[in-house]
Amino acid sequence: MPLGYTGKILRIDLSDGNIKEENIDQVFMRKYFGGKGFIGYYLLKEVHPDVDPLSPDNKLIFATGVMTGLPVSGMCRYAVGAKSPLTGGYGQAEAGGWWGPELKMAGYDGLIIEGKAEKPVYIYIKDGDVQIKDASHLWGRTTDQAQKLIREENGDDRIRIAQIGPAGENLVSYACIVNELKHANGRTGMGAVMGSKNLKAIAVRGTQKLQFKDKEKILDIARWFSGYFKKNPLTYGLYNWGTSGGLMNFNKSGILPTRNFREGSFEGAEKIWGKTMAETILKKREGCYACAIRCKRVVEVDREDLKVDPELGGPEYETIASFGSLCGIDDLGLISKANELCNKYTLDTISTGMVIAFAMECYENGIITEQDTGGLKLSFGNKDVVLKLIEMIAKRQGIGDILALGSKRAAEKIGKGAEQYVLTVKNQELPMHEPRGKYGVGLAYALSDTGADHMQAAHDTLFTEEGEVLDSIKPLGILEPMDPFDITEKKVRDFMYLQFLWSFYNMAGICDFAPVPRGSMPLEKVVDLMRAATGWNVSLWEMLKAGERGLTMSRLYNIRCGLGAGEDRLPSRLHQALEGGTLKGQKIPEEEFMQAIKTYYAMMGWDKETGIPTKEKLAELGIDF
C-alpha cells in the first residue's frame, strides 16, 4: 500500500508496560497528514489541560508526516509533541535526520508514550518488534556515550536513536531530544517530558521498504531536484555555507540579534559566519535522509584550549547567533563547543544561549552578582563562562539550577527587575531573528502556538527581493510586494497564508529548506510529490487547509491551557528602540502591532477579542471530535 493508505500508531504505556498498535485510516491520514496534525489531535483528545507537563499523565507524541521517508530532499522530518513544561501549553518540536524515516520503515507513523517507567528505560523498536528495556546503566550518560552503549548491546550499528542526555533527565525546562547526536527536536522542552517519564531513548531499526504509488515519478523529481537546487541561490547557499551563510547579511541589515537583542549588528560577525566556518573548522557537509542540499555542518576543533568532537555535528545559524552575537562572543571554536555540549546534554541551543544572554545582561546591571554565580563574571563577550554555564544548567548546579527554569521563571525567582531583560513569548525564548527589522517575524513570534519560534512561519524578508514578489509564493495568492516594516492587514494576510504553508510542511514531514519560499522546490512539485507518494488527488488548497487545521487545533489546546489573547504579545524590548547596529532606533509600533494581532484573529475565523476559534471555523475544518 502506498503511503497514507493505512497508518499505524504505536501506543506504549510506560507505567504498565502495555504496548499496542492502533490503525488509522486513509480519511484520518488525509485530514491530519501527521506532525502537528497528529499531535494536536491526540493532545486535544487525550491530554487534559490541567495535567502537569512533567507528570505521568502527560503524553509524549512522536509524529512523522505523510511525506516522511520519501527518497527526496527534505522529506525526512518528524515532530515531537506534548503539553510543554516551558510554555504550559501546546508543546512541539521538529527534527530532521534519519530517525523519522527509520520509524516509518519499522512500520509506524507515530508513537504515543504514556505514563512513567518505574526506573530508567529505553524503547527498542525493530520492524514491529517493540521492547521496553532497562536503561539504568545509561542514565546520567551523555548522548554519545548512550548511543554507543545501545548500539553495542543490541549488536547493530545502524540503530537510530532519539534520546535525552542529563539535561532531559534533570528536567531542564528547555531540554531537547537529540537523534543521531546532532539533530534536535529543540524547542518547548520535549526532552524534559521524556525525562519525566524515565525514558532515556527510543532506538529504532526499520528495514521494511516504503511503498509509493508512483515510484518512478518520485525518483524523477528526486533526480531533478538534486541538480536543480544548486541553481537556486537559497538552496545552494545552504549547501555551500550552511544555515549561517546569511549571517553577514543579517548583520549588515541590522537584524542579527546581538547582546540579548539590545543591538542588531555585531562587530565580530565576520568571524562567526558560514564562510569563515567553511574556511576554518568545517570538516564536512552532511545532509539528512535522502537530502541533496546538505545544509548540516560537521566541524572539528583541535585547539589547545578546546576540542570539538565532529561526531556531534556542528553549529547551525541559530546556535551560532545565540552563543555568538547574542552573548557577544566571536569565537567560532567556542560556539562549536557550546553546540557540542548542548548535543551531549540535550539542551535547546536557542533557549540556552538566550538564558545565558539574559543572565549576562542581569549581571551587567547588577541584578546577578558574582556571589550568585560562584565567581563567574557574566559579562557579554566573556569567553570563560559560556561553557561552564551550559554544564551548570544541564546538571542544575549553582545558578544553573535557576537558569534551567527558562529566563522567564528564572527572572521571577531572581526578582530585582530582572524581568525587563527577559525576551520570551509564552515563556519560550526568542530565536535568532530580529523582528524590529521584519515585522512579520514579530507576528510569527507572538502568534506561534509554541511561543517564540522560527519554525512556524516564513520571515517576511522572503516577500521582497528587489521590490518584487517572489514568483514562488504567487500560488499562495500573494501577488503584491511586501515591505518588511509594514504591519497592516496586508502583512497579516501574507503571514497567515505562509503560516498555513509552514504548518502543512510540519504536518507532512517536509523540511522547509527544500521547497519554496525558503528552498527552491516549487509548490506544484510538492503537490506532485504527495500525489505520487499517496495516490491521492491532493491539491494545494487541501494542503493549506490542512495546515490551517493544524494551527487551529494547537490554538484550541493553548486556549484550554489558558494561553489565549493575553499571551499573544512580544516582549517589551521589541517595542523599544534598537540600541545599536544598522537599524539603531528602530522599534515595532506597539499599538499597530496589537491591532494586527486582532486582525489576525478575525482573519483566522477566531473571535477578534478573545482569539478563540469560532465554532463555525472548527466546523469548516472538521474539528468536531
Using CB under 8 A, list all residues that contact a second copy.
27, 30-31, 471-472, 474-477, 479-480, 488-490, 492-493, 496, 522-524, 527, 531, 536-546, 599, 602-603, 605, 608, 614-617, 619-620, 622, 624
Q: Phi then psi for 296, rounded to 5 degrees?
A: -75, 145
Give the shortest CB-472-to-a second copy separation in angstroms: 8
Give the shortest CB-613-to-a second copy separation in angstroms: 11
Q: What is the DSSP string of 443-475?
A: HHHHH-TTSS-SSSS--GGGGEETTEE-GGGGG
Q: Cα dihedral angle (434, 440, 445, 446), rounded to 10 degrees?
A: 130
CB nearer to a second copy: give 29 or 350.
29
CB nearer to a second copy: give 139 or 500.
500
A 10 A CB-CB count for 65 gives 35
Give the shortest CB-455-to-a second copy separation in angstroms: 22
Give the shortest CB-548-to-a second copy separation in angstroms: 10
CB nearer to a second copy: give 367 or 546.
546
CB nearer to a second copy: give 535 or 580.
535
Cell 566571536 found at:
330
Distance of alpha carbon 590 from alpha carbon 452, whole angstroms: 17
Cell 510569527 found at:
444
CB nearer to a second copy: give 17 or 477.
477
Give 591's contacts (C-beta < 8 A, 6+ positions apart). none
Per DSSP bridges, beta strands 90-95 and 78-83 are antiparallel
Distance between terminal CA atoms of the chain?
27
Distance of alpha carbon 169 from alpha carbon 284, whole angstroms: 31
Give the shortest CB-574-to-a second copy separation in angstroms: 24
Give the shortest CB-621-to-a second copy separation in angstroms: 8
Q: Which amino acid is at 108?
A: Y
Give the shortest CB-528-to-a second copy separation in angstroms: 9
The helix or strand, by DSSP H or E, that contains position 601, with its residue range, turns out to be helix 590-603
Distance of alpha carbon 531 from alpha carbon 221, whole angstroms: 12
Give the shortest CB-212-to-a second copy separation in angstroms: 18
**Coil/strand/helix, residue 480:** coil
CB nearer to a second copy: give 109 or 316.
109
Nearest to 490 by CA among 478, 499, 502: 478
Distance of alpha carbon 455 from alpha carbon 463, whole angstroms: 17
CB nearer to a second copy: give 375 or 479.
479
CB nearer to a second copy: give 257 or 515.
515
